[in-house]
Structure 1
Amino acid sequence: MRLFLLTTVTMIAFAANSVLNKLGVSIGEMEPLSFAMLRLWSGALMLLALIWLRKPTTSESGSVIGTVSLLVYMLGFSLAYVSLEAGVGALILFGVVQITMFAAAVIAGERIPMLRYLGCGVAFSGLAVLLWPAGGAVPDFWGGVLMAAAGVGWGIYTLVGRGAAAPLLRTERNFRYAALFMVAVAVIVGLPVGNATGYMAAVASGAITSALGYALWYRVLPQLPTTIAATAQLTVPVIALAGGMAFLGEALTLRFALASLLVLGGVTLALRKSR
């Protein structure tokens, strides 16, 4: 039960990132790259403060793969939404995350019950129903490539986190090195610009829902099979859209209700133990 609650909190944090990103860019007047910069810097400072307060006795070196995959995810995610609709972007992102993590599980020899494949398929079909635009417009090619890269980056970041002995320390190192890279980017493109709403959204996304959410994710990952961790993330777009209804005034639709039943039903199916 404790693991389920921690995983649920983590998925809510991931979904909150989407709501905050949309808030910061649409209402906060921030460019996507500026939002990503401030998000990373805020997350790095929050984690550094937590490390200083807790003074952990264990040690954990940074992961080059973890840092690079974090950067690929954050930059791809922000830049892709310049040309992609939010729903299509989320569909591409989590579709690629599923492929990446299921492929890694198969390569690692993890036993995957057929019921889990079926549940993941049902949940993903629910996402397709929910997020694909009504007119069936073809997504922008380069936006799709960027979001697919973000999906691979997040999938790898998740897989690398399974081996973290000290999740908070590993997350702090990844954020620290990624934030230093973004300082170099800021020298070229300039400092983040936006209004007060944009700054607050970026700081909240970085310091709370990213830094603390990712550290918590690294903590629960070793207790989850890779394919369960992948399937659980299919709930994130549904939670994000529910958050948009609650906090951004978006409308509740029958399409959302039916798709949510498919997603949650698929996840439940994947979590059931095969006889």
Structure 2
Amino acid sequence: MKLRDLLLAVVVTALWGINFSIIKIGLGAFDPFVLAALRFLFCALPWVFVIKRPRTPFRHVFWYGLVLGVMQFGLLFLAIRLGLSAGMASVVLQLQVFFTIGFGALSLGERIKPRQFAGMLLAFAGVVAVTRTDGAGSTLAIALVVGAAASWGIANIIVKRSGASDMLGFTVWSSLVPPLPLLGIALAISGPARVAADLSNVGWHGALAVGYLVYPTTILGYSAWNYLLRKYPTPLVAPLSLLVPIFGMFGSMLIFHEELTARKLLAAGLVLGGLLINMVGWPVRRGKARVSSAGTFKS
């Protein structure tokens, strides 16, 4: 992986790590499905009028929007609303690494080497260590996030199979799909009165939360992430998301003044060590200017 792409991935995971604290703030102002609907509504509008539709069959755009927007984020926001801590949610969601690689092996024929798998396990051990101090949640809430992780894995494979080159357009146009289904779910579960109250009493906390979810997290974050998925093998890109809970810890420390313990620092070290093993494990074809298996850093 080229150094600039690695740095891009680190920036994205940092934005996503802070995202979990922002979601917690947003859920103090909105029903979870209303928050998710607003997120994708403003990702799509007004940008679909100025950004061209990506050159890929619309079914890829539709299914990506449905799986990522409705399934992944609908389930994730509901789990946090049911009481799952933001830290625990960020950890469990990283099961998408294994879902993505498994789905990639089944549908794309991508392989992972034992050394790379060992690196993933070490990194995930560090992620799990975070949960020992970040609280727990109900079995239902955790199951919902596992479903969200599987949905993210499916969405990643849709990106790979789409062949789209314009990831900004892909992200913006796919955001047209989730708002109406999410709003329908909100009306069915919470009722029209709650939805109307949420939309008519938007405070500045809620507005800022929606703004962060729309621009840094989704439009920038997912456009960049999808670019990396299109360019590199999934076993190289997917494990980088294990950095998300680490940045999430620092985000919680800054926003909610949570304590940064020695155990959390050790967990961060395990994650970084595992990712280093995964990155170094990819071979490079000598004599090639490009990266064949996308595993060596180039500036």
TM-score calculated relative to the size of structure 2: 0.80
Identify the range of structure 1 (243-252 vs 185-194) with the bigger mean alpha-carbon deviation: 185-194
Kept in 1, the 8 Å contact 2:72–2:149? The answer is yes
1:266 Cα offset (Å): 0.7
Partner amino acid, structure 2, of 1:235: L
In structure 1, C-alpha distance between the alignment counterparts of 2:259 and 2:275, rounded to whole Å: 24
- Corresponding residue SS for 2:176: helix
Partner amino acid, structure 1, of 2:55: S
Partner residue of 2:291?
none
Kept in 2, the 8 Å contact 1:30–1:195? The answer is no
Identity of aligned residues (%): 26
User: Relative to 1, partners in 2 of residues 1:252 and 1:157: Cα closer, same or farther, differing over 3 Å?
Assistant: same
Q: CA RMSD in A?
A: 2.3
Identify the range of structure 1 (28-37 vs 184-193) with the bigger mean alpha-carbon deviation: 184-193
2:214 pairs with 1:206:
yes
Partner residue of 1:68?
66
Kept in 2, the 8 Å contact 1:68–1:178? The answer is yes
Kept in 1, the 8 Å contact 2:64–2:155? The answer is yes
Matches within 5 A, 1:38-77: 38-45=38-45, 48-49=46-47, 51-53=48-50, 55-56=51-52, 59-60=55-56, 61=58, 63=60, 64-70=62-68, 71-77=70-76
User: Relative to 1, partners in 2 of residues 1:202 and 1:57: Cα closer, same or farther, differing over 3 Å?
Assistant: closer
Partner amino acid, structure 1, of 2:180: L
Partner residue of 1:257?
265
Partner residue of 2:6?
4
Matches within 5 A, 1:2-151: 2-25=4-27, 28-45=28-45, 48-49=46-47, 51-53=48-50, 55-56=51-52, 59-60=55-56, 61=58, 63=60, 64-70=62-68, 71-81=70-80, 82-95=82-95, 97-107=96-106, 108-133=108-133, 139-151=137-149
Kept in 2, the 8 Å contact 1:88–1:133? The answer is no
Kept in 1, the 8 Å contact 2:44–2:176? The answer is yes
In structure 2, C-alpha distance between the alignment counterparts of 1:166 and 1:134, rounded to whole Å: 38
Residues 165-221 of structure 1: per-residue CA shift (max 9 Å, x gap): 321222122111112323434555324355321221122212331122111211221
Kept in 2, the 8 Å contact 1:16–1:209? The answer is no
User: Relative to 1, partners in 2 of residues 1:268 and 1:75: Cα closer, same or farther, differing over 3 Å?
Assistant: same
TM-score calculated relative to the size of structure 1: 0.87
Partner amino acid, structure 2, of 1:94: Q
Question: Pick from 243, 246, 263: which aligns with 1:238?
Answer: 246
User: Relative to 1, partners in 2 of residues 1:106 and 1:148: Cα closer, same or farther, differing over 3 Å?
Assistant: same
User: Relative to 1, partners in 2 of residues 1:208 and 1:183: Cα closer, same or farther, differing over 3 Å?
Assistant: same
In structure 2, C-alpha distance between the alignment counterparts of 1:120 and 1:242, rounded to whole Å: 22
1:146 Cα offset (Å): 1.0
- Corresponding residue SS for 1:177: coil
2:178 pairs with 1:178:
yes
1:133 Cα offset (Å): 4.8
- Corresponding residue SS for 1:109: coil
Is there any run of 5+ residues in structure 2 with no aligned partner, and where? Answer: 284-299
Kept in 1, the 8 Å contact 2:239–2:275? The answer is yes
Kept in 2, the 8 Å contact 1:69–1:154? The answer is yes
In structure 2, C-alpha distance between the alignment counterparts of 1:155 and 1:9, rounded to whole Å: 20
Kept in 2, the 8 Å contact 1:119–1:268? The answer is yes
1:7 Cα offset (Å): 1.5
Is there any run of 5+ residues in structure 1 with no aligned partner, and where? Answer: none
Question: Pick from 156, 159, 168: which aligns with 1:158?
Answer: 156
Number of residue pairs matched? 266
Partner amino acid, structure 1, of 2:5: L
